């Protein structure tokens, strides 16, 4: 059924991108405290891609890393894909603007309807966009502004687009993500909880929430795949033991811990590493 | 039923006779037969109706005739056109014998609200829908009747003849008979009746043309349209018209059409008013089909934005519904599609997509396709959202969207805030500002008010109305009765008067008819959609679907009016969606509009009153509160009125019972109105009894209701979504929602009828209590004092004072507990006395003419104002309105004569003039139309609490009434009821209208 909002979490393709060698030193980051182990980061990324490809059976399009873009591995920020429409964003960080070019090419190849954000006043990072299956929440952050959100609203007319101020963290999804249809996984920080409240207030729909102790761990990847059912990619217990316990409560989900320790050091969370696409939804 | 039939006729006849000074015995003789006849006829008629009687399709004119004898007694009738102007006779049961005695009958007549009727009807069965039109007709009849008779009245002899005829006709009963006899009456009628041709643009693009009487109410036309459409689940729909500013407005069913359209443009559009959140819950396919048509239009004109894919999907369902399975050999859909879009490229793409999807729907029935269409459309974020332009407190452009769930705030297509209905304590508007009062959040301590600036006060009011209606429809089990009182009104009394979603669902669950067959004809719609096309920027592909039907071009010329309309709509909506600029919304409330004062504003409408009488046990009355409500009314000065004012201290507070928390619980508590609550005990009461008598004689029958509708204050009004506050006799139980708390606003006077939460429960009535209190008060009246008529300015001031004075007590929890019952004083006593009182009242209200020269001051004046409908403006704010009305009524040859009698001992002490409308009823006889409104006012001056009951009786006739006599009689009656009353004012207003056509 090609119905609106059918099959939330169903994906067939994923776009990822290799880690640029410059990431360790030049990637934008909120805290410089920890040194990124590039090799480890690459290993982790490999695991991530393998999970998508082998374990979950997605068709993974791997874009080559571009050394001029230290943050290019975080493909999520370059595009927002919903249904058969792909919005090529205008990332808030000047240095990342041209990351979108490769992404655009890949998405075009997938026959998606490409909408580009050309407005010079607009900025939007995909990391600020939370799609719940029923609507969008767009975090207004350092990277994303009102105009960017408007263009997103214009690109996805079927859905309500509500704005949520992001007062802490890089992106809206730095502290939350979807854990299933109608289930929001949310960090326990004050800012995260406040964001959740706003989202709940703004929505005509009801969302359950699952609070995890660590904001970072609240960023997970939910999928609903044929023959696999609910799937949740989350941070490993080694990284966030307390949060991992919470995920255990999701009895119906296939839980897949994915190591992401190095990326986290440069504010990269699980969703940042891929753009997920459901080609079958495109009629 | 029988009784009613009899009584109504009797009332009329009686009046007629007395006016004509006929022998009473004459009338007595005729009655029983009539009654019997009426009964029979009614039954027959109902059968007829249930079988979709032909009569429904007869010209309105014929129907009216028929209704005179048949329909009027019908009970389950919905809001009659003239509900107020005639005595509603609802009590079933009284034995036919009673009919022989007009007075008795009258006494027993209970005035019920239209809503009550509705509910009855609903619970009765599915016959409702069918019977509705009947009542309208019956209602419509009365003025005509009056007209006719009055004319005849000019010569007594002639009148006698007429009367005979009437009787004959009635006894003969049948329509056929009536038409066979070319009685003088009929001739008169023919010449008198003014029909107007209305054009209603239907959702399929066709126009429905029908004639309605010029004074017909919105409802009448609406029912006609529904009839035409064969639509039973009509509550989701409504009629719109364009106001003088090209704004689309909902036609208020309870008001006269011509007073709403304010122009001679009798063009309307049939639209979905309340979009059902889950269309699959609709009972009939035809309803879903109409909803589909509306949504197609919404999509086509950009009001309902959707993505390309969704658009194509919706379009494919339309094809499936209208053409059946995809047939490669039948390429006609392509034809339309190619015409549709403004972007040719996308058009092609869209076309392909639609066809591709269409193929996948093979085997789907039209009904299934419609259902699928709706399943997808309902998920669109703007589904059912009614957008209004506004600015936030910083002057930034935003959009306010009203929908089933609450109020949404958009800025540039982005939702920047949302206020669910349960979060909203009050919506109000004042001038161009629109306010919502927000329930404090978990961590907040205080309510906050958010204000928005609308373009003008009309927009503010329109938005407010839409909020009131949507909240009531989607959130309440039963509507709050519209507040009828116009005395001292400071704000709009508008309330949603139709059925709520809960009610309509229940009602439609009783629909028991074979699914009506209907044709899905897209043909004519095309032209409209096309028309809208050029302006659509938001949803480029919008039109496709609309046009899928047929050759667009063919139709283009045919309905040009439609085209215009659509264009406008398109423009408007486009503007609304695209023009948003950025800003922030959560405006710190710009000084909230005097919450306390406004909150008590609700006054009981006649409807409420009526209801109340039926269910006396459920009334909760608390001293003091009422008065405050009274403050806010503007006296209804538009009409010549005879008003009796008695001051009484009385309060009625009815609390809302949340359905969730107290299912099935009905509480009634009354306190002796006179006996002040604990904190007031020390206060001395001073009772004033005052009577105002204003009698107006007009050439034409004035409908009280219509007047009141006009006198609505445009400046401000408020509405409390969750807690129906104030003195309306309402039952507001919110539909259960978990976050919702039963709550009572402490600073407000809340008066609700608490009723059994069952969706269709009859609203509890507060009336008996009030009446009871009135009686009590009267008996205790110590001081009768005539009071001077107040100037409007004074009144305003007084109102404010009154409000202030009364507010405090109300805030105390004891008085307004949120628990269901208010323990106070003997309920039983009240109730019983209420009944008595009721009877008294009813008697008094009949338009008997007897002599009693009460007036002490008589002055005659020739008012410079030429009015037609609104006759006398006695006080208050009405002045404003009057001006307006006057402007709009360019009557040429009008002779107006006003005689004012005023009581000598007017005390100009000018105190507060809060008022509560206790009752309002109109008895329409053949020659006279008597409208009685009872209005209770309570004030506190120093330690004295003063309550007064003001009765205003308006007698209007369309012939030469002997106004001296009528006045005397009215006064006498009033005196009989309330011996301590005094007459303060008598106004006789005579108007000879020579050019009827000019009035508008």
Which distant-in-sequence residues (6+ apart) come within 8 Å of B993 by Cβ?
Answer: B698, B699, B700, B868, B891, B893, B894, B999
Contact B747, B726 (CB under 8 A): no
Given this model, what pLDDT does residue B904 score? 38
b/e string for A12-35 if b means 16 or more Cβ within 10 A?
A: bbbbbbbbbebbbebbbbeeeeee
Closest CA to B137 of B70, B231, B39, B200: B70
Rounded to 5 degrees, φ, ψ at B197 are -90, 125
Region B683-690: what's the mean pLDDT? 37
Give the nearest chain A residue to B442 (CA atoms).
Answer: A197
Which distant-in-sequence residues (6+ apart) come within 8 Å of A59 by Cβ?
Answer: A12, A13, A14, A53
Question: Which tokens belong to B907?
Answer: 């005390």
Instruction: Select from 3.20.20.140, 1.20.80.10, 3.40.30.10, 3.40.50.300 the CATH code of B291-382.
Output: 1.20.80.10
Contact B764, B731 (CB under 8 A): yes
Given this model, what pLDDT does residue A207 score? 94
Given this model, what pLDDT does residue A239 score? 92
Is the confidence at residue B437, as pLDDT, over 70?
Answer: yes
B444 burial (CB, 10 Å; 0-12 / 13-18 / 19+) is exposed
Distance, CA of A146 to CA of B411 (rounded, Å): 9
Does residue B773 or residue A238 have the better pLDDT? Answer: A238
Given this model, what pLDDT does residue B470 score? 92
Does residue B744 or residue B426 have the better pLDDT? Answer: B426
Interface test with B, best of A132, A158, A201 (most B CBs within 10 A): A158
Contact B706, B256 (CB under 8 A): yes
CATH 2.30.29.30 domain range(s) in chain B: 385-481+491-508
Question: Which tokens belong to B669?
Answer: 């508590």
Give the nearest chain B residue to A113 (CA atoms).
Answer: B308
The answer to whether ipTM exceeds 0.90 is: yes
Pairwise CB contact (< 8 Å): A157 & B306: yes
Region B122-132: what's the mean pLDDT? 38
**Residue carrying structure tokens 């409500």:** B629
b/e string for B90-119 if b means 16 or more Cβ within 10 A?
A: bbeebeeebbbebebbbbbbbbbbbbbbbb
Distance, CA of B1 to CA of B22 (rounded, Å): 27
Which distant-in-sequence residues (6+ apart) come within 8 Å of A147 by Cβ?
Answer: A119, A121, A122, A123, B582
Which of A192-206, B482-496, B666-680, B866-880 shows the highest mean pLDDT? Answer: A192-206
Strand partners of residue A63: A17
Is the confidence at residue B159, as pLDDT, over 80?
Answer: no
Question: Which tokens belong to B838?
Answer: 């009721």
Region B814-828: what's the mean pLDDT? 38
Region B453-461: what's the mean pLDDT? 91
CB < 8 Å to A153, chain B = 412-414
Distance, CA of B945 to CA of B651 (rounded, Å): 12
Rounded to 5 degrees, φ, ψ at A137 are -115, 130
Give the nearest chain B residue to A156 (CA atoms).
Answer: B307
Distance, CA of B626 to CA of B648 (rounded, Å): 10
Helix (H) or strand (E) holding B991: strand B983-993
Distance, CA of A30 to CA of A208 (rounded, Å): 30
> What distance separates the 2 farthest-apart alpha carbons in chain A?
50
DSSP letter assigned to residue B788: P
What share of residues in chain B are helix, strand, coil (percent, to 5)?
A: 45, 20, 40
Helix (H) or strand (E) holding B461: helix B457-475
Closest CA to B310 of A156, A152, A9, A153: A156
Does residue B465 or residue B732 have the better pLDDT? Answer: B465
Is the confidence at residue A164, as pLDDT, over 60?
Answer: yes
CA distance to partner chain A, nearest, from residue B451 (Å)? 18
For residue A3, give the nearest of B356, B376, B403 by CB distance.
B376
Strand partners of residue B391: B397, B453
pLDDT band per the 50, 70, 90 thresholds, residue B931: low
Give the nearest chain B residue to A203 (CA atoms).
Answer: B418
CB < 8 Å to B357, chain A = 2, 283
Does residue B380 or residue B595 have the better pLDDT? Answer: B380
Average the pLDDT over each of A134-148, B343-357, B372-386 and give the range with the smallest value: B343-357
**What does each C-alpha distance from A248 to A210, A253, B641 come to in angstroms?**
11, 9, 76
Work out the angle between the directed axes of helices B332-340 and B344-359 (0-180°, nearest 10): 150
Mean of pLDDT over chain A: 91
CATH 1.20.80.10 domain range(s) in chain B: 291-382
Give the nearest chain A residue to B415 (CA atoms).
Answer: A162
Given this model, what pLDDT does residue B334 score? 55
CATH architecture of the domain B193-274 equals: Roll (3.10)
Does residue A19 or residue B877 have the better pLDDT? Answer: A19
Given this model, what pLDDT does residue B476 score? 86
Is pTM beyond 0.80? Reply is: no
Mean of pLDDT over chain B: 55
The A-side interface with B (CB below 8 A) comprises 2-5, 83-85, 113, 134-135, 138, 146-147, 149-150, 153-154, 156-163, 201-204, 282-283
Is it true that domain B385-481+491-508 has CATH number 2.30.29.30? yes
Given this model, what pLDDT does residue B907 score? 40
Rounded to 5 degrees, φ, ψ at A181 are -65, 120
Average the pLDDT over each of A214-228, B465-479, B834-848, B938-952 and give the range with the smallest value: B834-848
Which distant-in-sequence residues (6+ apart) come within 8 Å of B41 by Cβ?
Answer: B69, B70, B173, B174
DSSP string, B285-343: HHHHHHHHHHHHHHHHTTSS---HHHHHHHHHHHHHHHH-S--TT--HHHHHHHHH-SS
Is the confidence at residue B117, as pLDDT, over 70?
Answer: no
CATH 3.10.20.90 domain range(s) in chain B: 193-274
Distance, CA of B938 to CA of B805 (rounded, Å): 10
CA B529 vs. chain centroid, Å, equals 33
pLDDT band per the 50, 70, 90 thresholds, residue B988: low
Which distant-in-sequence residues (6+ apart) come within 8 Å of B965 by Cβ?
Answer: B849, B851
CB < 8 Å to A154, chain B = 413
Is the confidence at residue A111, as pLDDT, over 60?
Answer: yes
Region B934-942: what's the mean pLDDT? 53
For residue A158, give the nearest of B307, B412, B418 by CB distance.
B307
Which distant-in-sequence residues (6+ apart) come within 8 Å of B713 by Cβ?
Answer: B489, B490, B491, B492, B634, B877, B881
For residue A85, give the nearest of B307, B356, B372 by CB distance.
B307
Does residue B658 or residue B122 have the better pLDDT? Answer: B122
Task: For residue B937, give the 3-state DSSP assignment.
Answer: strand
Distance, CA of B423 to CA of B740 (rounded, Å): 8
Given this model, what pLDDT does residue B511 score? 77
Contact B374, B292 (CB under 8 A): yes
Strand partners of residue B448: B438
CB < 8 Å to A282, chain B = 309
Does residue A32 or residue B558 have the better pLDDT? Answer: A32
Interface test with A, best of B298, B305, B309 (most A CBs within 10 A): B309
Is the confidence at residue B279, as pLDDT, over 90?
Answer: yes
pLDDT band per the 50, 70, 90 thresholds, residue B349: confident
DSSP string, B232-256: S-GGGEEEEEE-TTS-EEEPPTTSB
Q: Which residues of A are catalytic?
A: 171, 272
Distance, CA of B468 to CA of B447 (rounded, Å): 20
For residue A202, give the nearest of B310, B360, B417 by CB distance.
B417
Beta-carbon count within 10 A of A252 CB: 8
Region of B402 please: left (phi>0), alpha (psi -120 to 50) or beta: beta
Distance, CA of B292 to CA of B737 (rounded, Å): 29
Beta-carbon count within 10 A of B936 CB: 38
Q: For chain B, how far is it from start to end, CA to CA, in angstroms?
A: 36
Task: For residue B919, give the 3-state DSSP assignment.
Answer: strand
* CA dihedral (B963, B965, B967, B970) positive or negative: negative
Is the confidence at residue A229, as pLDDT, over 70?
Answer: yes
Interface test with A, best of B277, B299, B300, B307 (most A CBs within 10 A): B307
Distance, CA of B764 to CA of B827 (rounded, Å): 15
**What does each C-alpha distance from B184 to A244, B159, B167, B602, B658 come to in angstroms?**
92, 10, 13, 46, 57
Given this model, what pLDDT does residue B336 score? 56
Q: For B6-17, how does the pLDDT look when each residue is reduced to its tens digit (9 = 90+)?
A: 444 344 444 444
Region B393-403: what's the mean pLDDT? 93
CB < 8 Å to A84, chain B = 309
DSSP letter assigned to residue B578: H
Task: List helix spans (H) across A51-204.
Answer: 100-109, 146-155, 190-202
Given this model, what pLDDT does residue B403 score? 94
Question: Which tokens belong to B799?
Answer: 């109102």
> Percent of chain B scored above 90 by pLDDT?
15
Region B383-398: what's the mean pLDDT? 93
Which of A15-29, B589-603, B833-847, B925-939 shows the highest mean pLDDT? Answer: A15-29
DSSP E strands in B833-943: the ranges are 857-861, 894-902, 916-924, 928-941
Is the confidence at residue B609, as pLDDT, over 80?
Answer: no
Given this model, what pLDDT does residue B962 score? 62
**What does each C-alpha distance from B945 to B391, B787, B802 come to in angstroms?**
44, 16, 10
Contact B724, B732 (CB under 8 A): yes
Distance, CA of B387 to CA of B572 (rounded, Å): 10
Region B505-513: what's the mean pLDDT? 79
């Amino acid at each position: 059924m090609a119905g609106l909002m059918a099959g939330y979490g169903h994906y067939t393709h994923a776009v990822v991108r290799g880690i640029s060698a410059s990431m360790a030193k030049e990637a934008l980051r909120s805290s410089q405290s920890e040194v990124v182990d590039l090799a480890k980061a690459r290993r982790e990324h490999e695991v991530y891609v393998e999970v998508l490809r082998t374990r979950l059976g997605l068709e993974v399009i791997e874009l080559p890393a571009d050394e001029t873009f230290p943050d290019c591995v975080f493909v999520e920020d370059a595009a927002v894909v919903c249904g058969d429409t792909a919005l090529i964003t205008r990332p808030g960080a000047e240095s990342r603007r041209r990351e979108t070019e490769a992404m655009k090419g890949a998405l075009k190849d997938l026959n998606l309807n490409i909408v580009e954000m050309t407005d010079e006043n607009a900025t939007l990072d995909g990391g600020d966009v939370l799609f719940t299956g029923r609507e969008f929440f767009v975090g207004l952050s350092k990277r994303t502004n009102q105009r960017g959100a408007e263009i997103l609203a214009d690109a996805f007319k079927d859905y309500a687009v509500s704005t949520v101020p992001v007062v802490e963290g890089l992106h809206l999804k730095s502290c939350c993500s979807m854990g299933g249809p109608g289930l929001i996984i949310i960090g326990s920080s004050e800012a995260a909880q406040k964001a959740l409240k706003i989202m709940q207030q703004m929505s005509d729909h009801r969302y359950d929430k699952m609070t995890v102790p660590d904001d970072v761990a609240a960023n997970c990847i939910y999928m609903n795949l044929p023959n696999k059912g609910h799937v949740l990619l989350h941070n490993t217990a080694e990284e966030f033991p307390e949060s991992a316990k919470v995920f255990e409560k999701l009895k119906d989900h296939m839980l897949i811990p994915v190591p992401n320790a190095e990326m986290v050091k440069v504010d990269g969370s699980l969703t940042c590493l891929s753009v997920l696409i459901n080609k079958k939804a495109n009629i | 039923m029988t009784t009613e039939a009899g009584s109504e006729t009797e009332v009329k006849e009686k009046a007629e006779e007395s006016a004509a000074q006929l022998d009473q015995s004459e009338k007595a003789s005729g009655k029983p037969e009539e009654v019997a006849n009426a009964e029979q006829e009614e039954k027959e008629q109902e059968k007829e109706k249930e079988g979709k009687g032909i009569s429904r399709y007869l010209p309105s004119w014929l129907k009216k005739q028929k209704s005179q004898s048949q329909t009027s007694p019908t009970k389950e009738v919905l809001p009659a056109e003239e509900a107020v102007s005639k005595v509603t006779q609802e009590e079933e049961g009284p034995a036919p014998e009673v009919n022989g005695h007009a007075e008795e009958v009258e006494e027993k007549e209970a005035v019920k609200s239209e809503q009550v009727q509705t509910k009855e009807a609903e619970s009765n069965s599915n016959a409702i829908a069918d019977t509705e039109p009947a009542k309208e007709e019956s209602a419509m009849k009365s003025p005509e009747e009056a007209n006719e008779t009055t004319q005849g009245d000019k010569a007594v002899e002639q009148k006698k003849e007429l009367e005979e005829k009437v009787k004959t006709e009635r006894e003969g009963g049948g329509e056929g008979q009536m038409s066979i006899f070319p009685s003088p009456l009929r001739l008169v009628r023919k010449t008198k009746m003014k029909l107007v041709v209305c054009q209603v643009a239907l959702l399929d693009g066709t126009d429905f043309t029908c004639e309605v009487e010029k004074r017909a109410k919105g409802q009448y036309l609406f029912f006609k349209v529904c009839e035409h459409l064969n639509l039973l689940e009509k509550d989701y729909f409504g009629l719109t018209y364009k106001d003088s500013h090209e704004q689309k407005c909902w036609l208020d069913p309870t008001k006269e059409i011509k007073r709403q359209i304010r122009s001679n443009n009798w063009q309307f559009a049939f639209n979905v008013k309340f979009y059902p959140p889950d269309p699959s819950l609709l009972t009939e396919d035809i309803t879903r089909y109409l909803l589909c048509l509306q949504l197609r239009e919404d999509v086509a004109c950009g009001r309902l934005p959707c993505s390309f894919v969704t658009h194509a999907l919706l379009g494919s369902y339309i094809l499936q519904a209208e053409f059946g399975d995809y047939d490669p050999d039948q390429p006609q859909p392509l034809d339309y599609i190619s015409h549709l879009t403004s972007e040719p490229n996308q058009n092609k793409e869209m076309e392909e997509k639609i066809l591709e999807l269409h193929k996948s729907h093979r085997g789907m029935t039209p009904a299934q396709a419609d259902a699928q269409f709706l399943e997808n459309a309902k998920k669109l974020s703007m589904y059912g959202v009614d957008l209004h332009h506004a600015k936030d407190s910083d002057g930034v452009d935003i959009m306010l969207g009203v929908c089933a769930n609450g109020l949404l705030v958009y800025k540039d297509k982005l939702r920047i805030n949302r206020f669910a209905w349960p979060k909203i304590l009050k919506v109000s508007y004042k001038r161009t500002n629109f306010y919502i009062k927000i329930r404090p959040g978990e961590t907040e301590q205080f309510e906050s008010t958010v204000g928005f600036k609308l373009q003008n006060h009309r927009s503010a009011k329109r938005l407010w109305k839409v909020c009131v209606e949507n909240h009531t429809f989607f959130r309440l089990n039963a509507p709050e009765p519209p507040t009828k009182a116009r005395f001292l009104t400071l704000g709009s009394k508008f309330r949603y008067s139709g059925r709520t979603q809960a009610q309509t669902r229940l009602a439609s669950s009783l629909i028991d008819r074979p699914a009506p067959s209907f044709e899905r004809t897209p043909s004519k719609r095309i032209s409209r959609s096309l028309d809208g096309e050029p302006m659509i920027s938001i949803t480029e592909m919008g039109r496709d679907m609309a046009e899928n039907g047929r050759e667009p071009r063919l139709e283009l010329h045919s309905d040009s009016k439609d085209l215009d309309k659509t264009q406008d709509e398109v423009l408007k909506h486009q503007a609304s969606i695209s023009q948003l600029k950025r800003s922030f919304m959560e405006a710190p409330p710009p000084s909230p509009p005097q919450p306390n004062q406004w909150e008590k504003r609700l006054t009981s409408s006649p409807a409420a009153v009526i209801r109340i009488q039926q269910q006396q046990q459920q009334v909760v009355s608390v001293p003091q509160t009422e008065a405050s409500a009274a403050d806010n009314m503007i006296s209804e000065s538009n009409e010549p009125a005879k008003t009796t004012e008695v001051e009484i201290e009385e309060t009625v507070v009815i609390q809302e019972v949340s359905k969730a928390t107290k299912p099935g619980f009905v509480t009634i508590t009354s306190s002796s109105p006179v006996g002040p609550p604990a904190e007031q005990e020390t206060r001395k009461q001073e009772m004033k009894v005052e009577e105002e008598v204003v009698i107006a004689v007009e050439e034409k029958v004035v409908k009280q209701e219509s007047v009141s509708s006009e006198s609505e204050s445009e400046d401000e009004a408020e509405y409390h979504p969750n807690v129906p506050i104030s003195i309306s006799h309402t039952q507001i139980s919110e539909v259960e929602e978990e976050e919702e708390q039963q709550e009572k606003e402490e600073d407000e006077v809340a008066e609700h009828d608490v009723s059994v939460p069952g969706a269709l429960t009859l609203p509890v009535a507060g009336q008996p209590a009030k009446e009871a209190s009135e009686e009590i008060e009267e008996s205790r009246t110590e001081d009768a004092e005539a009071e001077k008529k107040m100037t409007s300015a004074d009144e305003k001031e007084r109102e404010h004072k009154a409000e202030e004075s009364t507010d405090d007590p109300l805030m105390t929890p004891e008085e307004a507990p949120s628990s269901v019952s208010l323990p106070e004083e003997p309920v039983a006593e009240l109730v019983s006395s209420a009944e008595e009182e009721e009877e008294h009242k009813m008697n008094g209200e009949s338009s008997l003419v007897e002599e009693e020269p009460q007036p002490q001051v008589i002055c005659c004046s020739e008012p410079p104002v030429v009015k037609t409908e609104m006759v006398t403006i006695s006080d208050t704010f009405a002045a404003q309105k009057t001006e307006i009305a006057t402007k709009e009524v360019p009557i040429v040859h009008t002779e107006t004569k006003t005689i004012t009698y005023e009581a000598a001992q007017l005390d100009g002490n000018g105190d507060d003039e809060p008022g509560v409308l206790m009752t309002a009823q109109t008895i329409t006889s053949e020659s006279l139309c008597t409208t009685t409104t009872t209005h209770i006012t309570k004030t506190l001056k120093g330690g004295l609490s003063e309550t007064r009951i003001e009765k205003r009786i308006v007698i209007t006739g369309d012939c030469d009434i002997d106004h001296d006599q009528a006045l005397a009689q009215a006064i006498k009656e009033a005196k009989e009821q309330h011996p301590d009353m005094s007459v303060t004012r008598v106004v006789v207003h005579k108007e000879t209208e020579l050019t009827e056509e000019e009035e508008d």
